[in-house]
Every structure is written in C-alpha cells, then in structure tokens.
C-alpha cells in the first residue's frame, strides 16, 4: 500500500521489508543511515528495543512504551507511534463528543496500549480494560500512572467483563480471539453482546478475517462494527506522511491493500 501511494505521487522512493535479528538492530540502523533511508516501520521484537537507539522519541511513543515508526532527522532517528492515529481514524468521524462514552478494552497486550491512549485522546468518560491475567492487568494499570501522559484505567477480570458491557458505548477487541485460522471464535458470547447499550460501537483490531465473528454477531444486536483494516491503513498513511512531509492518497493505499488481501484469499 505504501508503494502504491508513492507511485501515485510520482516519487522516487520504495518501501521494502527487511528481517532484522534482535542482535543486529543497532547495525541495521547504522546501515540505514549510511544509505540515507528516509524512515522505516518496526514491529515485534524491536518495538521497545529500539528506544535507546533513537535520538528523539515522541511523548506518545514514550507513553505507549513502543515505537512503530522511525524517521531520519539531521541528528539521528526520531521514533513515534502511529497506531493511535490509525485506531482513531474511523472513530473520530462518528461522534463529536465522547465524554459520556465508557470504553471497554478486551486484552492488555501491546495493541491495547495504543487503544487506551486513543480512548483517552477521544475523551472517553471511563476506560475499562478486561484481561485474563490479574498480574498483567495490574501492571498495565499501574504503568499508566507513571506514564508521561497519565491515564486513569479501571480493570476487570475476563470472566467479569459482562458487568461492564451494559454501559460500554465502545468495545475494542485487542486480543487475537477470532483471528484466522480460529475464525469461529469470539471474545464475547451472544449473551454478552445482548448487554450492550443501543448504538454501541464494537471495534475489532483483527483484519483477517474481515469481518470477524465478533463483528458479524455484534451487528445483529444493533451495534456499529469497525474492523481492523482501517487502522492498518491509517497507521501506514500516518507514517508515510511523516517520512514524505506531505499528504498521501489514503484511498489508493486502501485499494492496494484490499486488492492484495483478495489475491491472498484466492
Ligand atoms: P499481544 O501483545 O500478544 O496482546 C494480546 C492480548 O490478548 C494479551 O493481553 C493476551 O493475554 C490477550 N489474549 C490472548 N488470548 C486470549 C484469550 N484466549 N482470552 C483472553 N485474553 C487473551 O498482541 P498485540 O500485538 O496486542 O495484538 C493483538 C491483536 O491486535 C492481534 O490480533 C493483532 O493482529 C491485532 N492488531 C491489529 C492492528 C491493526 O492495525 N489493525 C495493530 C496491532 C495489533 P495474555 O497476555 O494473558 O496472553
């Protein structure tokens, strides 16, 4: 999708994947600098490990504790995180004011951090996080107290999440439950979905399949469904804009990604 946008803009760049071993991350950065790479995305296992190798880290990436986008500067490398922008892109047009909306986030792993930061940015009244491991939940909650952007997070055990659903105007699945090949699974049972308030938004970060079982069932209970594909596109567009310092054709990126996914399905 990046290369489709670059071609549309008529620019002489290319976006390429490079597998980099954990022990080679520092050497890879030196190599990128030597050949004047404009910027890059990074993913597991480098999202935290790269932090000490950067000359500047955005406050948002510090708060989330993970970098997914790095741009070359005059003095070195600037790291930030575009997952929050990607997560928010399909939500912000839905409502001008989120101060009466409670959010329930399912899971407390890496993606949940961007989701919690996004819900706080929206101005949600309460942010509940449900997880299956009490210790991880408590660590997750405490980490936001000491973050550069402190956020008040309420936690609940996985088996008790139904008690929060009746007032959750926004539910976000950040677990892999329902992701291919386990497409018949869902993090919420039909009975739990029935608890949702009218007009609730159910957002699944998963994009294979698209829509997931969770979203298919949520719609039958009157919810508004958002899948993970738009977040994927928009986090990529935000990164490309940072590197190119100009607006990018998001429609072209969406089309390229959808085409590729159709090809993979065939
Ligand atoms: P992660 O760091 O491994 O976190 C996954 C979370 O889900 C953990 O809290 C994990 O709990 C929990 N979980 C897993 N299986 C569970 C189960 N059976 N019951 C209850 N909780 C369960 O993974 P991640 O990087 O956050 O990614 C999570 C999902 O988001 C993936 O499907 C990924 O593809 C998607 N994602 C999408 C985008 C996008 O752009 N659309 C971006 C990022 C991620 P434990 O820690 O106890 O295992």
- Residue in the structure block whose two tokens are 């489709």: 4
Q: Is the CB of 139 under 6 A from ligand 1?
A: no
Phi, psi of 264 (to 5 degrees): -65, -35
- Cis amide bond preceding 211, omega within 30: yes
Q: What is the CA radius of gyration of the chain?
A: 19
| Atom 4 (ligand 1) nearest CA | 109
Confidence band of 98 (pLDDT split at 50, 70, 90): very high
Average pLDDT value for residue range 69-74:
97
Helical H runs in the chain? Answer: 2-9, 25-34, 59-64, 83-88, 110-122, 134-145, 162-165, 190-193, 213-220, 229-244, 250-265
Distance between CA atoms of residues 149 and 170, nearest Å = 21
Distance between CA atoms of residues 28 and 48, nearest Å = 16
| CA 111 to centroid of ligand 1, rounded, Å | 7
Q: Is the CB of 110 under 6 A from ligand 1?
A: yes
Tell me: pLDDT of 266 over 90.
Answer: no
- Give the pLDDT confidence of 161-190 residue by residue, as tens digits: 999 999 999 999 999 999 999 999 999 999
Confidence band of 130 (pLDDT split at 50, 70, 90): very high
Q: What percentage of the chain reaches a pLDDT higher than 90?
A: 92
Distance between first and last Cα of the chain = 19
Tell me: pLDDT of 104 over 90.
Answer: yes
Average pLDDT value for residue range 139-156:
92
Average pLDDT, the chain: 96
- Give the pLDDT confidence of 183-204 residue by residue, as tens digits: 999 999 999 999 999 999 999 9
Distance between CA atoms of residues 187 and 158, nearest Å = 10
pLDDT of residue 149: 84
Tell me: pLDDT of 51 over 90.
Answer: yes
Collapsing DSSP to helix, strand or coil, 223 comes out as coil
């Amino acid at each position: 999708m990046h290369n489709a946008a670059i071609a549309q803009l008529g620019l002489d760049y290319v976006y390429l994947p490079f597998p980099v071993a954990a022990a080679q991350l520092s050497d890879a950065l030196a190599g990128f600098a030597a050949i004047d790479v404009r910027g890059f995305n990074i993913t597991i296992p480098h999202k935290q490990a790269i932090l000490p190798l950067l000359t500047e880290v955005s406050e948002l990436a510090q708060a989330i504790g993970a970098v997914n986008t790095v741009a070359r500067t005059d003095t070195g490398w600037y790291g930030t995180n575009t997952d929050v922008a990607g997560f928010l892109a399909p939500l912000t047009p839905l409502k001008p004011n989120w101060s009466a909306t409670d959010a329930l986030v399912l899971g407390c792993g890496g993606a949940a951090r961007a989701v919690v930061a996004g819900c706080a940015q929206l101005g949600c009244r309460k942010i509940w996080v449900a997880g299956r491991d009490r210790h991880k939940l408590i660590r997750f909650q405490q980490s936001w107290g000491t973050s550069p952007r402190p956020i008040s997070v309420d936690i609940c055990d996985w088996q008790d999440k139904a008690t929060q659903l009746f007032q959750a105007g926004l539910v976000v699945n950040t677990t892999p439950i329902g992701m291919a090949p386990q497409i018949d699974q869902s993090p919420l049972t039909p009975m739990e979905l029935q608890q949702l308030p009218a007009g609730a938004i159910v957002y699944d970060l998963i994009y294979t399949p698209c829509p997931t079982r969770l979203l298919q069932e949520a719609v039958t209970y009157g919810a508004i469904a958002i899948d993970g594909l738009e977040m994927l596109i928009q986090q990529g567009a935000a990164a490309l804009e940072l590197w190119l310092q100009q607006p990018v054709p998001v429609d072209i990126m969406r089309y390229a990604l959808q085409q590729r996914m159709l090809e993979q399905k065939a």
